[in-house]
Structure 1
Amino acid sequence: MAQSYNPFDVLELRLNSIENLLLDFKHQYISAPPKQADQWFDLNELCNYLPDKPATATVYGWVHTAQIPCHKGGKKLRFLKSEIDIWLLQGRKKTLQQTALEADAYLLKSKGGAGRTYGK
């Protein structure tokens, strides 16, 4: 005889599967280390954090020319550490080889550019 199809058995299997997934998610969430909250700097803290320890007037100049990421609440400037770290990394000088590769790529893209080799 053919076995009868019971839709409630299928529902029970699916519910058990969902329950197991939720329990796995719960255990992963509990065992995961909490994310560390980002740190805010005021102007003086930022000056002390930056490697070259600039004067506050210098930082005001950077803010005025939009060279540094900042947040303004009323009259108070605030700086997010993660944004400052990214900003510092973007300011890294390129090596001679990196500059030469970029120049070659530019020359190849431009009209009639025959790639040159610098610094080799």
Structure 2
Amino acid sequence: MTENKISFDAMPEMLATIAKRLEVIETKVDHLSQPQSHEEKDVWFNVHGLRDYLPSHPAEQTIYGWTSSHFIPFHKQCKSISFLKSEIDEWLCQGKKKSLLDLQHEAEEFVNRKHKRV
């Protein structure tokens, strides 16, 4: 660390600089210490909004087919169909294919549970 000699006449200017830097640091610390909301406010989609949100951008007829077969989570009020973003995200995650390692682990757990019951 280099040592800078500050004259008595330069002290007010130096204190002002320190005060500005301290404000910047306080702002950054306050921003870091605030609880970060990872949960987004839940959003409602209509059919058009859902089509735009889904990665495959399916046709409207496809979405209506999914709702009639109850393949996708939806809410219906009168004649209006709505989709809750959190439910759609969960539905999308359920479609995830398991890896070979995941399947092997599940099989081992299943066999271990069966052996304990005997």
Query: When the two structures are superposed, what TM-score results if normalisation uses the length of structure 1?
Result: 0.57
Q: Which amino acid aligns with 1:96?
A: L
Q: Equivalent of 1:72, from 76, 97, 101?
A: 76
Amino acid aligned to 1:73:
Q
For 2:25, the equivalent position in structure 1 comes to none
2:100 corresponding residue in structure 1: 96
Structure 2: which 5+ residue stretches go unaligned? 1-33
Structure 1 portions without partners, runs of 5+: 1-30, 112-120
The aligned runs of 1:1-120 (5 Å cut-off) are 37-110=41-114
Give the distance between the partners of 1:96 and 1:65, measured in 2 at CA: 30
Distance 1:110 1:45, change over 3 A: same
Q: How far apart are 1:79 and its partner, in Å? A: 0.5
Q: C-alpha distance in 1, partners of 2:56/2:40?
A: 26
Percentage of identical aligned residues:
42
TM-score by length of 2: 0.58
Higher relative contact order (CA 8 A, sep 6+): 2
